[in-house]
Structure 1
Amino acid sequence: MKKVYVKSYGCQMNVYDAERMTDVLAPEGYAQTDVPEEADLVVLNTCHIREKAAEKVYSELGRVRVMKQERAAAGRETTVVVAGCVAQAEGAEILKRAQVVDAVVGPQSYQRLPEILRAAERGRVVDTEFPIEDKFDALPALDARRVRARGVTAFLTVQEGCDKFCSFCVVPYTRGAEVSRPVAKVLGEARALAEAGVREITVIGQNVNAYHGEGPDGRTWGLARLLHALAEIEGLARLRYTTSHPRDMGDDLIAAHRDLPQLMPYLHLPVQAGSDRVLAAMNRKHTADEYRRIVDRVRDARPDIALSSDFIVGFPGETDGEFGETMRLVADVGFASAFSFKYSPRPGTPAADEAEQVPEAVKVERLARLQAALEEQRRAFNRATVGRVAEVLVEKPGRHPGQLAGKSPWLQAVVIEGARLAPGDIATVRIDRAGSNSLFAEAPGVPFDATNTSAAPSSVSTNVFAGEAAFAVD
């Protein structure tokens, strides 16, 4: 039995793609391993969003080169593949920079991995074409045994690519135009996941709320209608989606947060900046106040919603005053969690050619201030759950004996101690305390019945004053 080691960088899309790569390779006799030294095939599934993410790949290839040499000395061959968005963006350049690489495979081509590997036996290969055929049709059916081994939560890609063309982003160039999978294909994969024991599905896409798949009725379905259909699948207790764009938060999707108990009260809605001038330069197509109004509408529909976002500091030309507008937006909205980054120029994007690049020291200082404010909001959000009751989906054993690890409806990590539960159970627990990264809960008496929503918190509100977010569960 040959072994494959897949290391993924970046977004949830890459996590999904990595799992499907192992599914494609399984009929070829490859078993997955978490130990790279054991692997006959090493796949680095790359991300190109940040400059450091790309450079990490080349650093990793240096380590892989040494490992490949050591295995060769022991008489064992190793094939090395670079996949994902760096592969798509840099193509043959990877072969020039890293002689250790045998094949370069773009994110729209990994369904052809078996034939690419056979071609690589005759010479190094680059396959970064955008095929006409739907790659998902070429992927094998899900194997229930492998799905169960991955756990009780799963990602499900429903949409790829992006048509927004934000001036800082490479996604339209590496993943292509927006394409949505047909509803029937999505529902079929979701049913297979549920039948294998998956309890929570996160539907994903580069711009997932722009989903516009063909429905079985021949009409175009949006994300809201798709979520309603997914909620009807037996065994699926929880639904989430990511990543969203503010321009695609329609009334029907906001209403789904109100009407669907399976849709968890968590929304990742990137804003990127609080200055209208910067947002226009980013080509985000929304203003800061429009974002605030969307948040108000979502909170009106689902008062217990936990909000997450993305921020970029130091975008070309950003002034101190404009950065201050971002800080004001953070104070106004109040976030349960967030991802924040220094702007990094990506080759081929419009912003990379801007003359007014912000000095690195300024970006570092602004990021530190922003992250401090966001971290305080996150901690306040977690502290306010102490003493409250929440439903936790048990995912796996905890780090220590007698512990179980799971997630709250608001995507918080929760450690349950002294409970007799199994992965897949949804338990009503009382939160005892908040650690730095996790909540800790008392053991429940019985597993929570996912069909009974009466135990859910009745409301959650975020009140923001002078930059401090207070999260209250009633």
Structure 2
Amino acid sequence: MTNSTILPDFKLQQGTFFVQVWGCQMNVYDGDRIRELLTSAGFVETAAVENASIVVLVTCAVRAKAEDKVFNQIAAWRHQQKISKNTVIALGGCVGSELAEEILKLDKSVNVIFGPRTIHRLPSLISAYIQTHEPQVDVNADAIDKFDYFPSSHAEGPSAFVTIMEGCSNKCTYCIVPYTRGDEQSRPVQDIIDECVNFISNGAIEIHLLGQNVNSYHGVMNDGTVCNFSTLLYEIAAIPGLRRLRFTTSNPMDFTDDIIDAVKNLSVISDQIHVPIQAGSDRILSLMHRRYTAKEYIELTEKLRAARPTVHISSDFIVGFPGETEEDFEKTMEVVEKVKFDLSFSFVYSKRQGTPAALMEDKVTKEEKFNRLYKLQNRLEELALSYTQQFVGTVQECIVEGISRKDENELKSRASSGRIVVFKGSEDLIGKMVKVKITSTHAHTLKGELIND
């Protein structure tokens, strides 16, 4: 077993590749960069796994379910004869860093293992396997080295992801990410600006900034000074051609007043602000090593709404954390009622080996955990539907993403709130921002009529 030793100028034999991604938006970003790297190396992407000589799988390690999915998918493709013993299988993402060589024991058909920090080495790793037929494992590198090796990116549609930092140093007790993506490192400001400009010059009008904790960003500027996240927002908002700016994800403890001021002052920032709370009990937040209280979180949301009355605050919740009592859970429900979240995500706690929480005593039964989850999800759904209904009769500025999957006579677009909006219009509107009057709703989707200025 070896790491990559192939010379940089080694030419890959012609072939085809297929990429499938599970997990967070940072994995989506990495998946797009992998496509560009392999294309530059001489391979051609195929939309069908059965036509690929190389299959690249990028998955997360935040919950055990994500790991199970990737191995089940490989087994299913093998059973369906969509992949064969000759297919080169490369498995990466956070699960690559978490398990590394253990993956070879779990599935002997995996040939190449890489991590979030080593995706730029994937062409060389694949080359090494093709030459030697020995499994290649390479998951360690400097967090931001990979960005220097990426080919010029091209926007695939009107929206583009841009990773501004790698890793996380917060060490929340339930989270495996600091151990898979490493400690936090921020990209230089000019590198981020250049990538945004490149995407916009190739047709993007929306930029979505990514990081495990974007609001702790501290990148170096050209003059050697350090740029914080709010300053970065102003820098990117000034790029000609940008119509909307999103960012994910934010830690409440780092959502400082200067960032709130940027949300107030920069109309280009989306109305959808995602700020994970995880739990509403101060006792559980302390056990999670989330360095804020429920009261401080509520005050943050009040400041955001004062700065931007149209803001839609979404969040993440972990139910059934080790030691969570019924009283702790009810405190979470109290926060939900006070904040009234929109379009949020909630999950039952997933034990991850190697994290401090994995060693905590957990007396909460599976039945109790899921009963609490369903109660929380039902209330979150009610709140989200209430927000959806309030859009009827309003005019929304929407970025047109493409043709609706359900009706080829309609276009699919996205409002600043994050809601999908469908309306009748010509295909030449795809990639543009338009105004749509909302006439009706269906679940969380809005239906409307195009307003011609």
TM bracket, shorter-chain basis: over 0.9
- Secondary structure in 2 matching 1:258: helix
Contact 2:162/2:207, CA 8 A, preserved across alignment: yes
Report what 1:117 is aligned to.
126
2:323 is aligned with what amino acid? G
1:403 equivalent in structure 2: 410
**Matched residue, 2:141:** 130
* 1:61-460 map, 5 Å: 61-66=74-79, 71=84, 77-121=86-130, 122=132, 123-131=134-142, 134-142=145-153, 144=154, 147=155, 150-399=156-405, 400-418=407-425, 421-446=428-453
How many angstroms does 1:34 deviate by?
2.2
1:260 alignment partner AA? L
- Contact 1:270 1:308 (C-alpha < 8 Å) held by counterparts: yes
TM-score under structure 2 length normalisation = 0.94
Supply the distance in 1 between the matched residues of 2:369 and 2:74 (Cα, whole angstroms): 29
CA distance in structure 1 between the partners assigned to 2:129 and 2:32 by the alignment: 22
Tell me the equivalent position of 2:31.
18
For the 8 Å contact 1:166–1:282, the answer to whether it is kept is yes
Q: Provide the secondary structure at the position in 2 that maps to 1:431.
A: strand
CA distance in 2, matches of 1:405, 1:243: 25
Counterpart contact for 2:193–2:236, Cα < 8 Å = yes
**1:394/1:421 contact within 8 Å kept:** no
SS at match of 2:447: strand
Separation of aligned partners in 2, 1:297 and 1:133: 33
**For residues 420 and 359 of structure 2, what CA distance do their matches in structure 1 show?**
41
* TM-aligned CA deviation for residue 132 of structure 1: 7.4
Q: Distance in 1 between matches of 2:332 and 2:144?
A: 43
1:159–1:204 CA contact under 8 A, matched in 2: yes
- Cα distance, 1:2 vs structure 2: 2.1
3-state SS, counterpart of residue 34 of structure 2: helix
Identity of aligned residues (%): 40
Does the Cα contact within 8 Å between 1:403 and 1:418 map onto a contact in 2?
yes
How many Å apart are 1:243 and its aligned residue?
0.5
Secondary structure at the residue paired with 2:435?
Answer: strand
1:398-438 CA-to-partner distances (Å, cap 9, x unmatched) read: 12132000100111011012456521221111101110131
SS in 2 for 1:108: helix
Among 69, 75, 78, the alignment partner of 1:56 is 69
* Cα distance in 2 for residues equivalent to 1:70 and 1:255: 52
User: What SS does the corresponding residue of 2:250 show, helix, strand or coil?
Assistant: coil
In the alignment, is the contact (CA less than 8 A) between 1:85 and 1:106 conserved in 2? yes
Provide Cα deviations, 1:242-263, integer angstroms capped at 9, x if missing partner.
0000011011110011000111
The letter of the residue matching 1:30 is F
2:78–2:84 contact (8 Å) kept in structure 1 = no
Check 1:108–1:10 CA distance in 2 against 1; reply closer, same or farther (3 A cut): same
Contact 1:68 1:78 in 2 (8 A): no
Counterpart in 2 of 1:29?
42
Contact 2:92 2:113 in 1 (8 A): yes
Q: Which amino acid aligns with 1:436?
A: A
Question: Which has the larger displacement, 383-392 or 436-445?
Answer: 436-445
* Structure 1 position 37, deviation (Å): 0.7
Contiguous gaps of at least 5 residues in structure 1 = 447-474
SS of the equivalent of 1:43 reads strand
Determine helix, strand or coil for the equivalent of 1:442.
strand
2:143/2:185 contact within 8 Å kept = no
Q: 1:15 and 1:132 mapped to 2: Cα distance?
A: 17
Partner Cα distance (1:227, 1:181) in 2: 14
The DSSP-based 3-state class of the residue aligned with 1:406 is strand
Distance 1:231 1:196, change over 3 A: same
User: 1:64, 1:177 → 2: CA distance?
Assistant: 35
1:247-288 deviations in whole A, cap 9, x for unaligned? 110111100110001111111000000000000000001100
Distance 1:251 1:427 in 2: 32
Q: Distance in 2 between matches of 1:440 and 1:221?
A: 41
2:5 alignment counterpart: none
Say whether the 8 Å CA contact 1:315–1:357 is kept in structure 2: no
How far is 1:67 from its partner?
Answer: 5.6
Secondary structure at 1:337's aligned position in 2? coil
- Shift in Å at residue 68 of structure 1? 6.2
Q: SS at 1:443's partner residue?
A: strand
Q: Distance in 1 between matches of 2:425 and 2:117?
A: 46
Letter in 2 for 1:204: L
